[in-house]
């Protein structure tokens, strides 16, 4: 300090520079949407506490209504001890302080927890305290406290601490964690979480290279999670449960046959039918569903972020869901087996001739393939051209295969069990009536269940589908590529400005400047202060829902 | 219910210029294919059930007509007669197995079948076996289709074990299925005159024409110590041995019937048909039953009401469900497409 005082004398002020480091556009909106979706958001930053709190206010993570718990190492007590310089004593004292603070906050939080409509809680902790709070003895308290809070802001954290906090939540709370960052100091955090997302951009590509997913801007996280993540979950559940169902149906139909063969193990179906069932006759439709199924469109997914909670609660892959599929698989297999065998126990057609084992089994197999493919169409929420092609194509492929397979006699040593079977079958009226009746009887139960479920116990996404049933879907592309307007640019701008939310809070995300103050003083002096461009942009990226709180400043 | 949804975007115009393929590829990879979004409204549920009822009840009724026709002469009539117990004379009833295996005892038997409804020609004669597992795994594989076509030229008949060869000479046709050929015979007499039984064309044409060789003759057949069934005439080629062909089309269930022949005359009500049968076949060792069936046939087949009843049942239950849903729709109308039904909008929702 003294040397500085000696040197810095008689200097001439030339100018001042300022660096604008503003938030990316769309960040507050994105964060608010994600918290509506049931995702808890924590901020881990290397900035100092004031900046971090400002940013959190700008992002809608903190607001004045929340109860904030601040655990800081800038208190007087700690500073006193630090001045004394004894490292061991500093460490012990800070640890004691942190423990006391945590306990106090935790007790207060418990109180709020038991009251139904208390304010939301927020925790703000800085890096030095975090170092002691992550200690095994205090870790549990920290975890309990932070899980009760709806936002957590950690400032002055080092990259290692970022990773430690992420692991704490991942292993301690056993929740799924996602970390998103854009710099090299975020790499350890990205790798520690379940899902790491890197933002490619100004700070280079290190985060991107370490991450599982890379996006270009922070606001695309909304799309990634609410649209593609949600669709991916639904598609996975559908594909897996459908796969089990179709194989269960197919196998159980054979299973009932074993009771009638003296338990000798005679196969019901021909070998080739069994091998190709999963490869040709029922494979492609389920892949198409896994690629293209959407329960609601992308714009609706973002409009109703609460739909994401269905995934958090794992509503589509519970044991109950699997049990219902299994029940219908059993029901359908009974329909297939008994309808086909009982109706073929007497002669077929006016020629009086009787069917053999392979005729009956080919008939049953045809019914299985047709029914299982039609069942897939029943679980689709959106049916594209490819669905029709694949379902129709699979059924046609089965018929082509059986025409070919039963039409040729090969010189190889195989038992010609299936020779001419399908032509024999198709020469009887029995075949056509059975092919009409059996799939319908089998799907009757499923259709009834779907109707009742949708009517009386609808899922959230089904209600959203009903609300927006008659709208054309813009498929989300338009908001990425620009919407064209019918207004002139000036009209559009003034209309847009008038739609912006009014300035309500002191915190704007910038350390020293606030348009709230400026417009206050301007109105006092009777001077017109025009809107600042950066302020307009900032307000535009906030959610445009008017807050009920009265404006204290203006 | 379904709407064809197309996305509109200014950029699409640029893409179409550079080729429709690029646009289609773009739609495919960007998950924005035009799609139909079916939403199952209550109206659709009711409509579909009504539609199914309307389709299936008539189909079921038409199918039932096939066996229960009001027009007398088109009815399907079936007479069944179990004869395996009654055809064993009283003294041998204690030990039926040794009775049937004793070749010195004559096995003929007379049965009386009374016709209770008018039966229009052709009348099909079936023999029905119960508790006979023609679908047993080792039985089903015990045959050689190549040998049935090529005869003794074909040598790899290992699947026919243990009935592959006898005294080092191959058996044609080999295998347990052929070995256990059914050999009861039936003759029919009405009012003293014999009813001619047509035993041609009882097997499926594809079997006769393509699975059994025209130049293959039975050889060394049923010559072993253990006799399993009937003998074959070694001078008739296999493609003309229709009994064997019918028998070798193995059945699916343990209780089955197979076509024996046809009677080409009509049978009137109250006719008594005398059946002279030879009770050769041994079903007594395993508790099997033998029955003789006379049946007429319609366009759908024999006397089987199952399909008709099932169609009518499906149709009726669909109609019932449609009515139930209509009543429920009137009574418990859920506000359809109502925003306030969303769980996060409901007042009692607590996060």
SS (H, E, C) A356-408: CHHHHHHHHHHHHHHHHHHHHHHHCCCEEHHHHHHHHHHHHHHHHHHHHHHHC
Kindly state whether residues B221 and B271 are assigned to the same domain. Answer: yes
- Whether A553 maps to a domain, the answer reads no
Range of the domain at B47: 42-75+309-332
- Whether A404 maps to a domain, the answer reads yes
Kindly state whether residues B144 and B184 are assigned to the same domain. Answer: yes
Tally of CB atoms within 10 A around A284 = 19
- Whether B344 maps to a domain, the answer reads no
Tell me the per-residue pLDDT of A514-552, one tens digit each, with 9 for 90 and over.
555 566 666 666 666 677 777 677 767 765 544 444 444
What would the two tokens of residue B280 be? 């050769």
Kindly state whether residues B241 and B290 are assigned to the same domain. Answer: yes
Q: How many residues does chain B have?
A: 351
- Whether B31 maps to a domain, the answer reads no
Kindly state whether residues B270 and B323 are assigned to the same domain. Answer: no
pLDDT higher than threshold 60 for residue A100: yes
- List all residues of chain B from 233 to 262 with a beta carbon under 8 Å from chain A: 246, 249-259, 262
Q: Which of A446, A467, A488 is the last residue of a domain?
A: A467
User: Are β-strands A213-215 and B4-5 bridged in parallel, bridged antiparallel, or unpaired?
Assistant: unpaired
Q: pLDDT averaged over chain A?
A: 84
- For the stretch A172-181, contacts whose Cβ atoms lie closer than 8 Å and that sit 24 or more positions apart, written own/partner, are A172/A139, A172/A140, A172/A143, A173/A143, A173/A147, A178/A225, A180/A218, A180/A221, A181/A207
Q: Is A139 annotated as a binding residue?
A: no
The pTM score is 0.83
Q: Is A552 annotated as a binding residue?
A: no
- Whether B266 maps to a domain, the answer reads yes
Kindly state whether residues B137 and B171 are assigned to the same domain. Answer: yes
Residue B350 forms contact with A (CB below 8 Å): yes
> What CATH number should be reported for the domain holding residue A144?
3.40.50
- List all residues of chain B from 123 to 152 with a beta carbon under 8 Å from chain A: 124, 126, 133-138, 140-141, 143, 145-146
Structure letter (DSSP) for residue A86: -
Q: For A28-135, where are the E strands, in sequence order?
A: 41-44, 67-71, 121-126
Closest to B244 (Cα-Cα) out of B255, B262, B228: B228
Residue A359: the pLDDT is: 92
- Whether B12 maps to a domain, the answer reads no
Kindly state whether residues B65 and B82 are assigned to the same domain. Answer: no
Residue B4: the pLDDT is: 42
Kindly state whether residues A145 and A242 are assigned to the same domain. Answer: no
Mutate to test the interface with B, among A230, A266, A293 (most CBs of B within 10 A): A266
Closest to B62 (Cα-Cα) out of B299, B295, B303: B299
Q: Is the CB of residue B222 less than 8 Å from the CB of residue B228? A: yes
Kindly state whether residues A279 and A152 are assigned to the same domain. Answer: no
CA distance B48 to chain A (A): 10
Mean pLDDT in runs of 10 for chain B (351 residues)? Answer: 41 52 81 84 90 92 77 76 89 86 87 90 92 91 87 83 83 90 92 90 89 89 86 90 92 93 90 91 91 89 86 94 91 74 60 38
Kindly state whether residues A132 and A247 are assigned to the same domain. Answer: no
- Whether A507 maps to a domain, the answer reads no
Tell me the per-residue pLDDT of A251-273, one tens digit each, with 9 for 90 and over.
999 999 999 998 998 999 988 89
Q: Is A47 annotated as a binding residue?
A: yes
pLDDT higher than threshold 50 for residue A55: yes
Side-by-side strand order, sheet with A67-71: A41-44, A151-155, A121-126, A67-71
- Whether A136 maps to a domain, the answer reads yes
- Whether A189 maps to a domain, the answer reads no
pLDDT higher than threshold 50 for residue A485: no
Residue A500: the pLDDT is: 63
- Whether B34 maps to a domain, the answer reads no
Judge: B2–A292 Cβ closer than 8 Å, yes or no: no
Q: Which of A96, A129, A157 is the last residue of a domain?
A: A157
Judge: A433–B300 Cβ closer than 8 Å, yes or no: yes
If 0-12 CB within 10 Å is exposed, 13-18 middle and 19+ buried, where does residue A184 land?
middle
What would the two tokens of residue B231 be? 């003998």
The total of structural domains in chain B comes to 2
The total of structural domains in chain A comes to 2
Could you tell me the pLDDT band of residue A349, with boundaries at 50, 70 and 90? confident
Closest to A477 (Cα-Cα) out of A221, A299, A222, A294: A299
Tally of CB atoms within 10 A around A6 = 7
- For the stretch A261-268, contacts whose Cβ atoms lie closer than 8 Å and that sit 24 or more positions apart, written own/partner, are A261/B133, A261/B135, A261/B136, A261/B137, A261/B254, A262/B133, A262/B136, A262/B254, A264/B133, A264/B136, A264/B137, A264/B138, A265/B137, A266/B135, A266/B136, A266/B137, A266/B140, A267/B137, A268/A361, A268/A364
Residue A433 forms contact with B (CB below 8 Å): yes
When CB atoms are compared, the residue of B7, B31, B307 closest to A433 is: B307
Kindly state whether residues A152 and A248 are assigned to the same domain. Answer: no
Average pLDDT over residues A379-405: 93
Kindly state whether residues B62 and B182 are assigned to the same domain. Answer: no
Closest to B244 (Cα-Cα) out of B234, B252, B254, B253: B234
Kindly state whether residues B263 and B321 are assigned to the same domain. Answer: no
Kindly state whether residues B71 and B81 are assigned to the same domain. Answer: no
Residue B73: the pLDDT is: 62
Tell me the per-residue pLDDT of A299-341, one tens digit each, with 9 for 90 and over.
888 899 999 998 999 999 999 999 999 999 999 999 999 999 9
Residue A497: the pLDDT is: 65
Kindly state whether residues A460 and A378 are assigned to the same domain. Answer: yes
Kindly state whether residues B270 and B318 are assigned to the same domain. Answer: no
Residue B310 forms contact with A (CB below 8 Å): yes
CA distance B104 to chain A (A): 34
Residue A148: the pLDDT is: 85
Q: Is the dihedral of CA A225, A226, A232, A238 positive or negative?
A: positive
Query: What interface predicted TM-score (ipTM) does this complex get?
Result: 0.89
- Whether B4 maps to a domain, the answer reads no
Kindly state whether residues A129 and A245 are assigned to the same domain. Answer: no
Residue A65: the pLDDT is: 86
- List all residues of chain B from 41 to 60 with a beta carbon under 8 Å from chain A: 41-42, 45, 48, 52, 56, 59
Residue A484: the pLDDT is: 40
- Whether A167 maps to a domain, the answer reads no
Residue B191: the pLDDT is: 87
Mutate to test the interface with B, among A299, A357, A367 (most CBs of B within 10 A): A357
- List all residues of chain A from 460 to 519 with a beta carbon under 8 Å from chain B: 460, 463-467, 469-470, 472-478, 481-482, 484
- Whether B1 maps to a domain, the answer reads no
Peptide linkage before A372 cis (omega within 30 of 0): no
Range of the domain at A104: 23-157
Q: Which of A445, A467, A489 is the last residue of a domain?
A: A467
Kindly state whether residues B57 and B71 are assigned to the same domain. Answer: yes
pLDDT higher than threshold 60 for residue A475: no
Could you tell me the pLDDT band of residue A242, with boundaries at 50, 70 and 90? very high
- Whether A213 maps to a domain, the answer reads no
- Whether A352 maps to a domain, the answer reads yes
Q: What is the DSSP string of A149-213?
A: SSEEEEES--HHHHHHHHHIIIIII----EEEE-SGGGHHHHHHSSEEEEE-BTTBSHHHHH-SE
- Whether B303 maps to a domain, the answer reads no
Kindly state whether residues A355 and A443 are assigned to the same domain. Answer: yes
At which residue do the structure tokens 């597992």 appear?
A: B133
Kindly state whether residues B117 and B242 are assigned to the same domain. Answer: yes
- For the stretch A128-133, contacts whose Cβ atoms lie closer than 8 Å and that sit 24 or more positions apart, written own/partner, are A128/A73, A128/A94, A128/A156, A129/A71, A129/A72, A129/A73, A129/A94, A129/A97, A129/A98, A129/A101, A130/A154, A130/A157, A130/A161, A130/A165, A131/A161, A132/A91, A132/A94, A132/A95, A132/A98, A132/A99, A133/A71, A133/A98, A133/A102
Tell me the per-residue pLDDT of A194-211, one tens digit each, with 9 for 90 and over.
999 999 876 678 889 989
Closest to A507 (Cα-Cα) out of A52, A151, A126: A52
Residue B7: the pLDDT is: 40
Which range (A143-147, A176-180, B68-72, B210-214) has the least confidence? Answer: B68-72
């Amino acid at each position: 300090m003294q040397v500085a005082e000696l040197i810095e004398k008689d200097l001439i002020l030339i100018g001042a520079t300022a660096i604008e480091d503003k938030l990316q556009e769309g960040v507050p909106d994105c964060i608010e949407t994600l918290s509506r979706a049931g995702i808890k958001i924590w901020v881990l930053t290397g900035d100092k506490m004031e900046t971090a709190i400002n940013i959190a206010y700008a992002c809608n993570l903190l607001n004045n209504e929340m109860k904030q718990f601040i655990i800081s190492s800038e208190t007087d007590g700690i500073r006193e001890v630090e001045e004394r310089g004894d490292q061991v004593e500093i460490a012990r004292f800070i640890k004691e302080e942190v423990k006391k603070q945590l306990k106090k906050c935790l007790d207060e939080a418990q109180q709020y927890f038991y009251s139904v409509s208390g304010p939301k809680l927020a925790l703000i902790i800085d890096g030095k305290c975090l170092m002691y709070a992550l200690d095994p003895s205090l870790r549990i308290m920290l975890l309990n406290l932070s899980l009760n809070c709806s936002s957590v802001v950690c400032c002055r954290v080092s990259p290692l601490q970022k990773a430690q906090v992420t692991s704490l939540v991942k292993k301690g709370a056993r929740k799924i964690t996602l970390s998103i960052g854009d710099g090299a100091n975020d790499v350890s955090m990205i790798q520690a979480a379940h899902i790491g997302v890197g933002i490619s951009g100004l700070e280079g590509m290190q985060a991107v290279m370490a991450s599982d997913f890379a996006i270009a801007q922070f606001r695309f996280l909304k799309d990634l999670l609410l649209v593609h993540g949600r669709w991916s979950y639904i598609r996975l559940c559908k594909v897996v449960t459908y796969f089990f169902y179709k194989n269960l149906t197919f196998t159980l139909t054979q299973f009932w046959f074993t009771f009638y063969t003296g338990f000798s193990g005679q196969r019901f179906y021909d070998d080739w039918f069994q091998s190709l069932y999963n490869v040709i006759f029922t494979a492609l439709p389920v892949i198409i569903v896994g690629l293209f199924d959407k329960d609601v469109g992308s714009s609706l997914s973002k409009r109703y972020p609460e739909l994401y909670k269905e995934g958090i609660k794992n509503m589509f892959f519970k044991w109950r869901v699997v049990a219902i599929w299994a029940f219908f698989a059993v029901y359908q297999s009974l329909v297939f087996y008994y309808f086909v065998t009982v109706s073929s126990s007497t002669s077929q057609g006016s020629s009086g001739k009787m069917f053999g084992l392979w005729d009956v089994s080919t008939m049953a197999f045809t019914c299985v393939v047709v029914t299982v493919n039609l069942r897939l169409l029943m679980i689709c929420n959106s049916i594209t051209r490819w669905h029709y092609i694949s379902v129709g194509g699979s059924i046609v492929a089965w018929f082509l295969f059986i025409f070919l397979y039963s039409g040729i006699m090969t010189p190889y040593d195989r038992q010609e069990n299936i020779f001419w079977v399908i032509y024999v079958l198709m020469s009887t009226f029995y075949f056509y009536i059975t092919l009409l009746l059996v799939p319908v009887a089998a799907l009757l139960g499923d259709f009834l269940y779907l109707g009742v479920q949708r009517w009386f116990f609808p899922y959230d996404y089904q209600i959203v589908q009903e609300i927006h049933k008659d709208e054309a879907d813009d498929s989300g592309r338009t908001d990425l590529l620009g919407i064209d307007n019918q207004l002139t640019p000036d009209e559009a701008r003034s209309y847009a400005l008038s739609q912006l939310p009014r300035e309500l809070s002191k915190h704007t995300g910038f350390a020293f400047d606030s348009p709230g103050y400026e417009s206050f003083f301007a109105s006092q002096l009777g001077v017109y202060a025009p809107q600042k461009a950066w302020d307009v942009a900032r307000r535009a990226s906030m959610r445009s829902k008017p807050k009920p709180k009265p404006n204290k400043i203006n | 219910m379904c709407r064809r949804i197309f996305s509109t975007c200014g950029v699409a115009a640029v893409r179409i210029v550079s080729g429709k393929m690029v646009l289609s590829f773009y739609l495919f990879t960007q998950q924005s294919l035009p799609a139909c979004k079916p939403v199952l409204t209550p109206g659709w549920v009711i409509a579909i059930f009504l539609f199914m009822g309307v389709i299936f009840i008539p189909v079921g009724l038409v199918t039932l007509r096939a066996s229960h026709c009001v027009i007398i002469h088109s009815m399907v009539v079936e007479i069944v007669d179990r004869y395996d117990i009654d055809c064993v004379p009283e003294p041998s009833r204690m030990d039926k197995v040794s009775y049937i295996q004793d070749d010195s005892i004559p096995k003929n038997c007379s049965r009386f079948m009374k016709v209770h409804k008018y039966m229009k020609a052709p009348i099909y004669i079936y023999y029905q076996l119960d508790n006979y597992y023609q679908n047993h795994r080792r039985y089903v594989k015990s045959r050689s289709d190549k040998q049935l076509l090529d005869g003794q030229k074909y040598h790899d008949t290992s699947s026919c074990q243990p009935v592959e060869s006898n005294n080092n000479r191959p058996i044609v046709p080999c295998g347990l299925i052929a070995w256990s050929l059914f050999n009861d015979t039936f003759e029919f007499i009405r009012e003293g005159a014999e009813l001619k039984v047509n035993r041609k064309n009882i097997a499926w044409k594809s079997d006769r024409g393509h699975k059994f060789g025209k130049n293959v003759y039975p050889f060394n057949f049923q010559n072993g110590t253990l006799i399993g069934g009937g003998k074959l005439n070694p001078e008739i080629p296999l493609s003309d041995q229709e009994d064997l062909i019918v028998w070798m089309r193995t059945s699916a269930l343990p209780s089955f019937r197979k076509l024996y022949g046809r009677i080409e005359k009509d049978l009137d009500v109250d006719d008594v048909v005398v059946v002279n049968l030879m009770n050769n076949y041994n079903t007594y060792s395993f508790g099997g039953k033998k029955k003789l069936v006379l049946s007429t046939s319609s366009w759908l087949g024999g006397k089987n009401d199952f399909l008709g009843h099932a169609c009518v049942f499906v149709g009726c239950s669909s109609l019932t469900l449609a009515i139930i849903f209509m009543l429920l729709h009137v009574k418990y109308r859920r506000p359809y497409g109502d925003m306030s039904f969303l769980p996060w909008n409901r007042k009692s929702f607590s996060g």
